[in-house]
Amino acid sequence: MRTIDMKSVVNSLVSGDAFNVNNLLNLSEKYSKDAEIDGIDSDIYVYGKYLNTSELIVKWGYIAEEYKVTTEDGYILLLTRIVSGKSGPCRPVLLLHGFMSASDQWLLPGRSESLAFILADNGYDVWLGDQRGNVNSQAHNKYDVDSKIFWDFSFHEFGVYDLPAFIEKILDITKVSQLSYIGYSLGASEFLIMGSERPEYLEKVKVSILLAPFFNPPSISQSHILHTINLFSPIIMNPMVRATKHSILPRTKALQTAIQTFCSPKVAIDVCLAIVGDLVGENRNNLDRKLVPFYFSSLPAGCSLKTYEHILQSFKSERFQQYDYGSLKNVKKYGSHTPPRYKIEQIQTPIALLYANNDIILKTENVIKLEKTLPNVVMCYEVSDPKFSHTDFVFGSNAVQLVYDKILQLIESYN
């Protein structure tokens, strides 16, 4: 087994060299022969092979339908439907991914371990959305994807434009009046944003299930890596901006291959697990080590630099508020020196909050604060495993027993 010099890795990150495509290709090629994974009986988990959302759905034995959704401000988003072939009443459920991820995150653990497939097997009409700016939703009816104005959005627009557009499309196709919603991390936040800024859409949602909801996040210093990134943000971000034109960590074959290589059990999987553990909570024993390279290589799917900045602002302010343009620009845009907070106390939709105590991105007391602020919380559930982390909601080996069974019971009561 080869070892990687962590000092050189850190220096590469700080200098921005880690995001140089040629460097990534050279490094992954150097270690690629050691990275291939044995003992996986599937043509889905193959080193160097990357399947999109529809391909994964088909590979696991379902039918996939793709729809293009145009938002009010012109972004063209991908919406994918899982057709299971089961008969019965139409019960649509929309799932939205987390920060910098994509809809394939819901499918990678496999047919019996993925929430999307479990819902489909239980007779639900499952829809997977892809937010603006990720690898599947990089189009606009007016702006070119390489233009600065295309990337002028934060997660505020996810809730104000993207989520309403997904809901409208699903209800139009299915001819029903309501759907159920499941949002993970930032996907949970955008439902709260929609409820604050577009309350007319709340009546179209039967129940909203928020997994690891990104709300009033704790101090960024809880993660050593995030704290370092914050301190050296200009040094790190400037090379990324030059390389990617106002987006961050776009999904490229070079980046996926590099992550898949280094996170292989035969190369440096424990380094990868240590990094992810610092970012979201350490619980490496709850991840299938053979699938870790495929999980982690799927996570960078692209997003705007402004979304990243909005998240950093949330960590610093510990407030759930709109994007901070600075005092002078705030006055011009909002009429006040500080950004307005999201008025989530007006959301009457039944909401379930599911969270983990070992999630560095959240604080338990902040989730309790959220429960007290929202007027119609029907469940506030702390996962019983004390080591359960942020990523375990999607990739954890015990997520079915500890989380998904709860979701099925709850969603069934509203359908």
**pLDDT-based confidence at residue 85 (cuts at 50, 70, 90):** confident
| Residues near 322 by beta carbon (within 8 Å), at least 6 away in sequence | 156, 334, 339, 340, 341, 342
Q: State residue 268's pLDDT score.
A: 86
The DSSP bridge pattern shows strands 125-129 and 76-83 to be antiparallel
One-letter amino acid for residue 213 of the chain: P
Q: Do the Cβ atoms of 195 and 349 come closer than 8 Å? A: yes
Residue 44's beta-bridge partner residues?
none
CB atoms within 10 A of CB 346: 12
Residues of the chain with pLDDT > 70, as a percent, come to: 85
More confident residue, 38 or 146: 146
Question: Does the pLDDT at position 18 exceed 70?
Answer: no
How far apart CA 72 and CA 74 sit, in angstroms, is 6
Question: Does the pLDDT at position 128 exceed 60?
Answer: yes
DSSP state of 339: P
**pLDDT-based confidence at residue 399 (cuts at 50, 70, 90):** very high
User: How many distinct helices (H) and strands (E) make up the chain?
Assistant: 18, 10
Q: Do the Cβ atoms of 318 and 135 come closer than 8 Å? A: no
Q: State residue 232's pLDDT score.
A: 62
Q: Is 319 helix (H, G, I), strand (E, B) or coil?
A: coil
Q: Extract the tokens encoding 90.
A: 């139409």
- CATH number 1.10.3720.10 given to 6-413: no
| pTM for the whole structure | 0.90
Q: Extract the tokens encoding 75.
A: 């972004």
How far apart CA 409 and CA 257 sit, in angstroms, is 39
Tell me the pLDDT tens digit for each residue of 40-83: 667 888 877 889 999 999 999 999 999 999 999 999 999 999 99
Q: State residue 89's pLDDT score.
A: 84
Secondary structure element (H or E) that encloses residue 176, with its range: none
Q: Residues for the chain: how many in total?
A: 415
Q: Shortest CA distance to 81 belongs to which of 70, 91, 89?
A: 91
Q: State residue 383's pLDDT score.
A: 97
Tell me the pLDDT tens digit for each residue of 297-351: 998 899 999 998 899 898 888 889 999 999 999 999 999 999 999 999 999 999 9
- Active site positions, annotated: 185, 390
Q: Shortest CA distance to 60 belongs to which of 93, 107, 92, 101?
A: 107
Tell me the pLDDT tens digit for each residue of 106-118: 999 999 999 999 9
CA–CA distances in Å: residue 384 to residues 339, 354, 359, 402 = 36, 11, 13, 7
CB atoms within 10 A of CB 66: 13
**pLDDT-based confidence at residue 382 (cuts at 50, 70, 90):** very high
CB atoms within 10 A of CB 1: 9
Q: Do the Cβ atoms of 159 and 201 come closer than 8 Å? A: no
Q: State residue 409's pLDDT score.
A: 97
**pLDDT-based confidence at residue 229 (cuts at 50, 70, 90):** low
Residue 209's beta-bridge partner residues?
182, 352
Q: Extract the tokens encoding 178.
A: 């309501």
One-letter amino acid for residue 331 of the chain: V
Give the domain ranges of the chain.
Answer: 6-413
Q: State residue 48's pLDDT score.
A: 76
